[in-house]
Amino acid sequence: MVKQQALRQQEEQDVNEKFVNDDNGDSPLQDHGQQSSGCSLLLWIVPSDTFSTFLSPLLGTQYIIGTLSLIGKAFHTIADEPATHLCFHVQTAKAIHLTDRQLSIWLTRLSKTKSAVLLCPVTESMGRLVEARRHTLNYLEMDYSAPNRGHTLLSVRQGASLVEFPVLEEARVGGDWALAAPRKRWALRSLVSLSVRDCRLLAPVIGFGVWWRSLAPALRSLEYDDDGCWGYPYPYDTRPLQELLRITTSVPDLSALKTLRLKGPYLRLTHEFTQQLAQRGLRLEDVDIALRPPSPSTPIIKEVDAFRKSCLAPNAIENWSRSDFRFRLESLYDSSGVSDQVLCSCADTIKTLASAATEVSMSTHLGATEVFYQALHGLIPSLVFSRTRTLLLTINAGHAGVLPLPDVVLSNVARLFPSVTHADVSADMSDALVQRVLGQLPTLETLNCSALDIFDTDMGDEDWARTFLLHQTEHQDRPIAERVREATTTMFWEESDHAESFIEACDRIASMCMRAIRRFSHLDRLVITVELAGDDWKWEGQEGGDMIVATMQEGMVSRPGTPGGRRLPFHLLLREFGFELVELPRLDCHCRMEVRRMGVSIPSQKRITDYFPIRQ
């Protein structure tokens, strides 16, 4: 045994001396502000176990480089000096199962470790490793994220005794590791900051509540994100974030908690929760909440307002910018739940939610309401939907778009929506109303609307379901018809094996293209995608998708604006207007084609010289 130890020590000394003797003095690496030894061997080709064993101490690092999966190779050679292992970092997708001998050796090496990061699957031996270093740890991070991972939990410690972590101040836990503390009865009374991510709060809710109460007196910062939980089956519609809020209300005193960060779908700060949190002394100084409601209706506005007034300290820092929801502007005119008093009382909260919304809908219901609240005259001009990129203009059922939006809205569109790039216009919206709204949007790029309205024609068949997308990037002061440069539309055809139906469908597309050319004077490109329902579209023995472009080229079409006039072949009529029809790569559809203006440069189109330079 003595001989083996001597040989091993000599081997370590020989290797260390080799790296030191190879020093050429030109290495840029620094060691605590002093010039460090360099190595002629490139670092990225050094084996990881050699790097962690010999180079790490020479470079003055305080980290164990690599993972515990290297124990087999470097078990006897990693530096034994505890001062070199102040931070313990493990990251691996493989479960680590330490033997008792390995665990005892590692515990000696980690006797001075102050920070531990475990990004690995949950195992009992790794849990024992953390517990054994509880007297020195002041930072602990345990997490593991992997798609379709199994559900693994540590065993439950029996008995009434608690495992104290006397100096642990910050913990970040996620996944199944989040339940390690309550299942192992860890007492974290000195904890100041806690971050919980992707935690399944199911059956162990009671144990989690006991653990939460044990650490609550010292906790100043709480972060919870349960976005990653929704791939798991939750019984009885359990919502983890709501469960955490319910547990929080059982804590006797929350006066120490000053920072709160929450993120999760369907987060509701109900009046019941708000009242209980306020009664326990919660006065937050820094709040970061990501709301994900389906749409903030009047009750949700009131709930958020109550939370801000009851649970936030004066001059608290608020961040709602991680939210993702649609703001229904018409909800401010809802006579069933809104009044002048409510609008005045919740004005600041409405402004806050407006600045956080990612989508906004405006309905002509605004002009049809029987009650127009005076408070809106001052509130609407003060709203700024700075994060909103999508604006939806909708029609209230029964009004058919004839009622305009209120002037207080129409006159402030540019101020309300400074960042909108996409507008979605529903059917039957009048051109005058659309132009007045869209003409004030300084950053508008695309318009999504029904081809039925754009081309002002009755297609007749319900099989012609389409979405028409217009691209506009300049001349905001011009009418919409003069701003459109590009357009795309998708069509869905029912299956048919009749030649008459196929030819008629192709003629309809051709007529639609000519109407688009006539209406949009600056149109350069019109891309049409056709999806055929079923596999029975055939004509003359060929698949329907292969014949659409050829059939359209020879189809007979009337000039735009003269439905009863002379009919000409589509390709000749296109050339007369300065356009041509080309087939595009299909990209997982039955047919893609483009009507393009001749002579216009298409940025997406590449020439052969773009790939192969011309030799001189």
Is residue 569's pLDDT more than 80?
yes
First to last CA, the chain: 75
- Scan for tokens 């910062």, then name that residue: 221
**Which parts of 269-390 fold into alpha helices (H)?**
271-279, 298-311, 340-345, 347-356, 365-368, 375-379
When computed from its CA atoms, the radius of gyration of the chain, rounded to whole angstroms, is 34
pLDDT for the residue numbered 352: 94
Phi and psi at residue 224, to the nearest 5°: -140, 130
Give residue-wise pLDDT tens across range 37-63.
Answer: 344 445 556 665 555 555 555 444 334
Is residue 616's pLDDT more than 80?
no
pLDDT for the residue numbered 310: 93
Which is higher by pLDDT, 436 or 231? Answer: 436
Computed from CA positions of residues 541, 543, 544, 548, in that sequence, does the dihedral angle turn out positive or negative?
Answer: negative
Is residue 99's pLDDT more than 80?
yes
pLDDT for the residue numbered 185: 83
Tell me, rounded to whole angstroms, the distance of Cα 116 from its chain centroid: 29
**What's the rounded mean pLDDT across residues 250-260?**
84
Give residue-wise pLDDT tens across range 14-37.
Answer: 333 332 333 333 333 333 333 333
- The torsion region of residue 398 among left (phi > 0), alpha (psi -120 to 50) and beta comes to left
- Scan for tokens 């030799």, then name that residue: 615
**What's the rounded mean pLDDT across residues 106-131?**
89
pLDDT band, residue 136 (cuts 50/70/90): very high
Give residue-wise pLDDT tens across range 529-554.
Answer: 887 766 555 544 455 556 788 888 88
The pLDDT > 90 percentage for the chain reads: 16
Q: Count other Cβ atoms within 10 Å, centred on residue 359.
A: 20
pTM: 0.68
Q: What is the DSSP string of 462-527?
A: TT-EEEEEEE--S-TTS-HHHH--EEEEEEEE-----HHHHHHHHHHHHHHHHHHHHH-TT--EEE
pLDDT band, residue 416 (cuts 50/70/90): very high
Residue 179, C-beta contacts closer than 8 angstroms, at least 6 positions apart: 153, 154, 199, 200, 204, 208
Is residue 141's pLDDT more than 70?
yes
Is residue 505's pLDDT more than 90?
no
**What's the rounded mean pLDDT across residues 142-169?**
78
pLDDT for the residue numbered 546: 63
**What's the rounded mean pLDDT across residues 474-484?**
68
**What's the rounded mean pLDDT across residues 558-586?**
82
515: its two tokens: 């109407």
Where are the strands (E) in 410-517, listed by range? 422-425, 446-449, 465-471, 486-493
**What's the rounded mean pLDDT across residues 117-145?**
90
- Scan for tokens 């104290």, then name that residue: 164
Give residue-wise pLDDT tens across range 162-175.
Answer: 888 999 999 998 88
Which residue type is seen at 460?
G
pLDDT for the residue numbered 293: 73
Which is higher by pLDDT, 248 or 107? Answer: 107
Is residue 79's pLDDT more than 80?
no
pLDDT band, residue 316 (cuts 50/70/90): very high
Is residue 482's pLDDT more than 90?
no
- Cβ–Cβ < 8 Å for 494, 533: yes
Is residue 587's pLDDT more than 50?
yes
- Cβ–Cβ < 8 Å for 393, 427: no
pLDDT band, residue 405 (cuts 50/70/90): confident
pLDDT band, residue 126 (cuts 50/70/90): very high
In sequence order, the β-bridge partners of residue 287 are: 260, 318
Name the nearest CA neighbour of 451 among 502, 411, 491, 398. Answer: 491
pLDDT for the residue numbered 418: 94
The Cα 369–Cα 376 span in angstroms is 13
Judged by average pLDDT, the poorest of 169-178, 216-225, 274-283, 366-375 is 366-375
The Cα 401–Cα 366 span in angstroms is 11
pLDDT for the residue numbered 286: 96
Most confident range (mean pLDDT) of 238-242, 566-570, 573-577 is 573-577
**What's the rounded mean pLDDT across residues 569-591?**
84
pLDDT for the residue numbered 252: 78
Question: What stretch of H or E contains 586?
Answer: none
For the chain, give the mean pLDDT.
72
pLDDT for the residue numbered 244: 64
Is residue 130's pLDDT more than 80?
yes
Give residue-wise pLDDT tens across range 358-403.
Answer: 999 888 765 544 455 678 888 999 999 999 999 988 876 544 444 5
Is residue 262's pLDDT more than 50?
yes
- Cβ–Cβ < 8 Å for 36, 24: no
pLDDT for the residue numbered 135: 93
**What's the rounded mean pLDDT across residues 301-322?**
92
- Cβ–Cβ < 8 Å for 258, 285: yes
Is residue 89's pLDDT more than 70?
yes
33: its two tokens: 């502000």
Q: Given 3-state DSSP classes, what are the helix, strand and coil percentages for the chain, each rounded to the nearest 5?
A: 35, 20, 45
Residue 304, C-beta contacts closer than 8 angstroms, at least 6 positions apart: 269, 291, 296, 349, 352, 353
The Cα 266–Cα 241 span in angstroms is 9
pLDDT for the residue numbered 359: 93
